[in-house]
Amino acid sequence: MTLRGLDWGSFWNTIRNGRYEFLLIVVPIASLNYFIRATRWSVFIHSEKKVPVISVFWANMVGYMGNAYLPARAGEILRSAFLGREKGLGTSFVLATALTERALDVVALVIIGSIAILDQSSLPSQFQNAVRVMTGAGIIGLIFILIMPYQQKLFFKVLHVFPLPEKFKTALGEQISRFMIGMRSLQNPKRAISFAMLTIVIWFVDAITNVIGVRIIGQNLNIGQALILLAALGLSSAIPSTPGYIGVYQFVAVTVLVPFGFSRSDALAYILISQILNYLIITFWGLIGLWQINRQGKESAIPD
């Protein structure tokens, strides 16, 4: 549907004549932003144990690479397993922090998108209505995240109702406890403020990256428009999809960018360039991350 009636000649012409010198600015900024994301995740991790941010960065990049190439957001399991195993944190605790971070990111995107869309009148009414619906869903999700850590006793009561082997109940209960600890990470006001400030920085830097990135195809976006695009792409990536969100991102790009004055061929050209670039950045840092994690694992296995 996205490709129906596409002017392929214009599309390939845009790809061929791109001003790729802007990549010299975009790539370092995008890489830096991945490090800022690792710093934000470490806000959760440090509630249990002080772990070097660089270790969190390597695990995070392995996770992003997993999400890019594997289905069902398998990268979340990968990054949690690597960090939990190597740093003795427990995979369930780390996974809880990872999932909480993702959920709060969706809430942040909804809020950012809702604010940015107030200044835009060119978007389709269907898209504006969808954002409003997602705003409500985001608020409900935030309330759930804040309340759930206090419901540990209820979870254990429900667990004991089921006729399961006692050993299994004990093991599952321990995992639930670790998971709840991870979700309670933001109950500390200082950590909550740090997380919120880093989230603002992350999405502002991402918006700047897109404002610069569209110059590759000779187009322009302001910060508000870039934030709306990010919100739409982020929300679409929050649901299960194909590895790398191929097809989904193309549809979103056309839906959002055409009302901003892009042709369909320019919108598809930009999102294709953006996806390829993101794949390369994630793969580069992800492979180094795998090497680093493997090296650290071998060093820790060597007896003193």
In tens, the pLDDT along 114-170 reads 778 777 666 666 666 766 676 677 677 777 777 777 777 777 777 778 877 878 777
CA distance 58 to 289: 4
Residue 302 lies in a domain: no
AA letter at 181: I
Instruction: Give pLDDT, residue 46.
Output: 84
Residue 2 lies in a domain: no
Domain that holds residue 62: 8-297
Which residue's structure tokens are 């979340």?
A: 76
- Write the pLDDT tens digit of every residue in 20-43: 999 999 999 999 999 999 999 999
CA distance 302 to 304: 7
Instruction: Give pLDDT, residue 128.
Output: 66
Inform me whether the pLDDT recorded for 242 exceeds 60.
Answer: no
What separation in angstroms does the CA of 181 have from each of 77, 152, 186, 196, 284? 17, 10, 10, 19, 33
Residue 219's Cα: distance from chain center in Å? Answer: 26
Residue 303 lies in a domain: no
What separation in angstroms does the CA of 49 have from each of 45, 59, 111, 205, 303? 6, 16, 31, 28, 23
What separation in angstroms does the CA of 138 have from each of 31, 117, 129, 186? 28, 16, 14, 17
Is pTM beyond 0.75? Reply is: yes
Q: Residue 71 has what DSSP assignment? A: S
Are 303 and 247 spatial neighbours (Cβ–Cβ below 8 Å)?
Answer: no
Residue 1 lies in a domain: no
With a CB cutoff of 8 Å and minimum separation 6, the contacts of 94 are 45, 79, 80, 81, 83, 84, 182
Inform me whether the pLDDT recorded for 304 exceeds 50.
Answer: no
Instruction: Give pLDDT, residue 30.
Output: 96
Are 199 and 40 spatial neighbours (Cβ–Cβ below 8 Å)?
Answer: yes
Residue 119 lies in a domain: yes
Higher pLDDT, 131 or 201: 201
Model confidence at 69, pLDDT cuts 50, 70, 90, reads confident
Number of structural domains in the chain: 1
